[in-house]
Amino acid sequence: MVKIGDVAREAGVSVATVSRTLNGQSSVDPQLASRVREAAARLGYRPNGVARNLRRKATDLLALIIADVANPFFTAITRGVEDVARSRGFSVLLCNSDEDPGKESTYLRVAEQQRVAGVILSPHRDGSDIGDLRRAGVPTVIVDRPLTEPVDSVMVRSREGARAATDHLIDAGWRRPACITGPEDAWTAQERLEGYLSAVREHGEMDELWVRGPFRQQGGTSGAARLLDAPKPPDALLVANAQMALGVLEEVRRRGLRVGIDIGLITFDEAPWTSFVEPPMSVVAQPAYDIGAQAAQLLMDRIAGSAPAEPRHLQLSTMLVVRASSRRQAPR
Amino acid sequence: MVKIGDVAREAGVSVATVSRTLNGQSSVDPQLASRVREAAARLGYRPNGVARNLRRKATDLLALIIADVANPFFTAITRGVEDVARSRGFSVLLCNSDEDPGKESTYLRVAEQQRVAGVILSPHRDGSDIGDLRRAGVPTVIVDRPLTEPVDSVMVRSREGARAATDHLIDAGWRRPACITGPEDAWTAQERLEGYLSAVREHGEMDELWVRGPFRQQGGTSGAARLLDAPKPPDALLVANAQMALGVLEEVRRRGLRVGIDIGLITFDEAPWTSFVEPPMSVVAQPAYDIGAQAAQLLMDRIAGSAPAEPRHLQLSTMLVVRASSRRQAPR
DNA sequence: TTGTATGCGTTATCAC
DNA sequence: GTGATAACGCATACAA
């Protein structure tokens, strides 16, 4: 492996000059500079990033710690993070925590040990301990779920989205909208439920119909089943996430209910399939890519030191996308 | 930032003893060892991974260079890689090349400079130059698309999958199956087309019907349109990727054709939506997660030096998943 | 502008 | 079993 000294010898200069040249310092004689560059090219020199990082006491690595990159919501966040990171010369370490506090803290430790320049974290259910990170002075941005610690964050106005979706269901003529949300310890589940409740309460004379379940397909299936088995079942459903929505769809079809006629449907998350099911599914779209991009931006500012001392909290809005599943057609 | 010397002083031992203790060397007096561990905990010591990497001349970082993590096929590969990497104590650097030779070579250089322990690469269309990597002795595994260089690889028997799918269409009673495949310079597109062609030729007396398009939704739309506008249009379609399949579905519906009755459909890739469209879509499932997991496994073996000198080539099989879209129902 | 020399925080080699 | 010390490859303070 050729190192800086080899290049220096080849070019007949000192290592300092090689270093300066390759790091684009202006104070190098153009003549020498080109001799250095030629020598480096001739020898196929590749600077050792590890040594450089050690000396500079800084890396150009970002850690992205999320539940699961296979969840389309996080996939989009990941893409957003990676795009702005790359544009600023940073690379991203991908960490799937699977909502497992153990894996999460392992990754947090890895991030700290590898001296990453910053961390973007979607904390698990029960809150996460980023105390070590903060003590170590590692810039951090929280996404999707809040943390009590005073750090930068990027969130989505879930509650407002749920509320708008519920209002829409009612406006469309559905009389008994219900909500299928996530587990109690999931903040986003709570937010979405509250959005639903506030809409229903405001309309008055409407029953509050809701159930919880895991944020997975099966959670949707069983949630729908429980609601539909009730003596006075709902006639429309707001589902808190796309994976659950697939389960709901399954259950609804199993019962022979016609979406848009017998039952109205709307779900959180613009998954790739939503506009291709029959009928197309209305959604509360979350700006997932932007969450990632903005979080990365915040982080870069923080790393560059060009951020205010106090933490900044970004709140992105959802977008209501109305398709056929939530429009009420008269039964034939 | 507390360093190893601080811990040594706190524990009243030498840095060597601290290092040995924290790296789990057995040859340390248990008494001293616990004193060291206590001191480290008391001080909140975090080993500096960068310094360690420099000294050891090795990192526990893997670079994963793929076209786009947002493509479900690559998402699954990514998850597979990350899982086995983590289980072996490695982290993964996520790199989206977007099929752009420029981005790809940038990432290749980053990987080399950061002295990653290994690289998993899905080369872009026109072939990729991993010469530098090989010269630098960086273990590399190629996935999804071949490269002439003699390195480890994990591929899918695309051709056989396409052939099985075409055979299935014919067996199901479709008389004029066609193929919508990707661009000429995409190896997988070629393989899938050839699989289709071999099936059709073997059956004899059948027209070879096929078109190419970009591996995107729009490619499916326009491909389907061109085929269906022909004087003698096909009655069934084999589509080379899931994103194209969405486009095909769109076009087919636009024309009022009933899937499974007027036209048979089957596509490559088990995307999350395939079983939820109406009617459920038959697919040629690729073992994407396994591709990633196996590639990572191969790479780890190579890194550990426990791999044979000659490159190993894994070939994973596809799985035909027959759903309603490719079964032929009599028109009502 | 250029060169020399020091140190970044570890691990590992060598004596003891 | 333990400790002193020399690398690892680079960036930079300082001297020239």
**pLDDT tens figures, B147-203:** 999 999 999 999 999 999 999 999 999 999 999 999 999 999 999 999 999 999 999
Please check whether strand C approaches the CB of B44 to within 7 Å.
no
Question: For strand C, which nucleotides have at least one atom less than 7 Å from a protein CB?
Answer: 1-5, 7-13
Which amino acid residue lies closest to nucleotide C8, measuring CA to C1'? A55
Q: Which nucleotide lies closest to B56 by the C1' atom and the CA atom?
A: C11
**Count of CB atoms situated within 10 Å of the CB of B205:** 6
B76:A70 CB<8 A: yes
Instruction: Note which residues in 244-283 of chain B have CB less than 8 A from chain A.
Output: 246, 249-250, 271-273, 276-278
B272:A246 CB<8 A: yes
Q: What is the distance in angstroms measured between the alpha-carbon CA of A292 and the sugar C1' of C12?
A: 42
Tell me the C-alpha distance between B160 and B288, whole Å: 16
Per the rule left: phi > 0, alpha: psi between -120 and 50, beta: everything else, B89 is left
Instruction: State whether residue B58 sits within 8 Å of chain A by CB.
Output: no
Please check whether strand D approaches the CB of B307 to within 7 Å.
no
* Beta-strand relationship, A319-321 and A282-285: antiparallel
Domain ranges of chain B: 4-47, 55-156+288-317, 158-287+320-326
Strand C: which of residues 52-111 in chain B lie with Cβ below 7 A?
52, 54-56
Q: Which of B96, B132, B246 sits opposite A79 (nearest CB)?
A: B96
Q: Which nucleotide lies closest to A31 by the C1' atom and the CA atom?
A: C1
Tell me the C-alpha distance between A205 and A225, whole Å: 24
Q: What CATH number belongs to B55-156+288-317? A: 3.40.50.2300
Instruction: State whether residue A53 sits within 8 Å of chain B by CB.
Output: yes
CATH match of A4-47 with 1.20.1370.20: no
B273:A271 CB<8 A: yes
CB B196 within 8 A of CB B166: yes
Instruction: State whether residue A146 sits within 8 Å of chain B by CB.
Output: no
Instruction: Note which residues in 307-326 of chain B have CB less than 8 A from chain A.
Output: none
B273:A278 CB<8 A: no
Please check whether strand D approaches the CB of B54 to within 7 Å.
yes
As assigned by CATH, the class of the B158-287+320-326 domain is: alpha beta
Our CA-based measurement puts residue B84 at a distance from the nearest CA of chain A, in whole angstroms, of 12
CB-CB neighbors (< 8 A) of A48 in chain B: 54, 113, 115
Please check whether strand D approaches the CB of A19 to within 7 Å.
yes
User: Cβ contacts of residue A170 below 8 Å, gap of 6+?
Assistant: A177, A199, A203, A206
Which amino acid residue lies closest to nucleotide D2, measuring CA to C1'? B17
**DSSP assignment string, B166-187:** HHHHHHTT-SSEEEEE--TT-H
Cα-Cα-Cα-Cα dihedral of B58, B124, A72, A117, to 10°? 40
Q: How many CB pairs below 8 Å do chains A and B form together?
A: 130
Our CA-based measurement puts residue B163 at a distance from the nearest CA of chain A, in whole angstroms, of 27
Tell me the C-alpha distance between B219 and B7, whole Å: 62
User: Cβ contacts of residue A154 below 8 Å, gap of 6+?
Assistant: A141, A142, A143, A144, A291, A294, A295, A298, A313, A314, A316
Omega into A279 within 30° of 0, i.e. cis?
A: yes
CB B126 within 8 A of CB B187: no
CB B91 within 8 A of CB A115: no
Question: For strand D, which nucleotides have at least one atom less than 7 Å from a protein CB?
Answer: 1-5, 7-13
Cβ-defined contacts of A132-140 (< 8 Å, 24+): A132/A108, A132/B44, A132/B46, A133/A108, A135/B44, A136/A112, A136/B1, A136/B46, A138/A111, A138/A112, A139/A299, A139/A302, A139/A303, A140/A299
Average pLDDT, integer, range A35-48: 97
Instruction: State whether residue B56 sits within 8 Å of chain A by CB.
Output: no
Please check whether strand D approaches the CB of B14 to within 7 Å.
yes
Of A153, A321, A141, give the one whose Cα is nearest residue A242.
A321
Q: What is the distance in angstroms measured between the alpha-carbon CA of A77 and the sugar C1' of C8?
A: 35
B114:A91 CB<8 A: yes
Residue segments in chain B with a per-residue pLDDT below the cut of 70: 332
Our CA-based measurement puts residue B144 at a distance from the nearest CA of chain A, in whole angstroms, of 19
Please check whether strand D approaches the CB of A29 to within 7 Å.
no
Instruction: State whether residue B48 sits within 8 Å of chain A by CB.
Output: yes
A50:B46 CB<8 A: no
Query: Residue A267: pLDDT above 90?
Result: yes
Instruction: State whether residue A129 sits within 8 Å of chain B by CB.
Output: no
Query: Residue A332: pLDDT above 70?
Result: no
Tell me the C-alpha distance between A210 and A193, whole Å: 8
Instruction: State whether residue B209 sits within 8 Å of chain A by CB.
Output: no
Query: Residue A77: pLDDT above 90?
Result: yes
Instruction: State whether residue B36 sits within 8 Å of chain A by CB.
Output: no
Instruction: State whether residue A23 sits within 8 Å of chain B by CB.
Output: no
The two three-digit tokens of residue A71, written as one number: 């969840």
User: Chain A residue closest to B253 (CA)?
Assistant: A276
Please check whether strand D approaches the CB of B21 to within 7 Å.
no
User: Chain B residue closest to A76 (CA)?
Assistant: B70
Q: Quote the pTM value.
A: 0.95
CB-CB neighbors (< 8 A) of A75 in chain B: 69-70, 75
B86:A75 CB<8 A: no
Query: Residue A258: pLDDT above 80?
Result: yes
Q: Which nucleotide lies closest to A52 by the C1' atom and the CA atom?
A: D10
**Count of CB atoms situated within 10 Å of the CB of B225:** 16
Instruction: State whether residue B104 sits within 8 Å of chain A by CB.
Output: no
Same fold, B4-47 and B158-287+320-326: no
Residue B303 DSSP one-character state: H
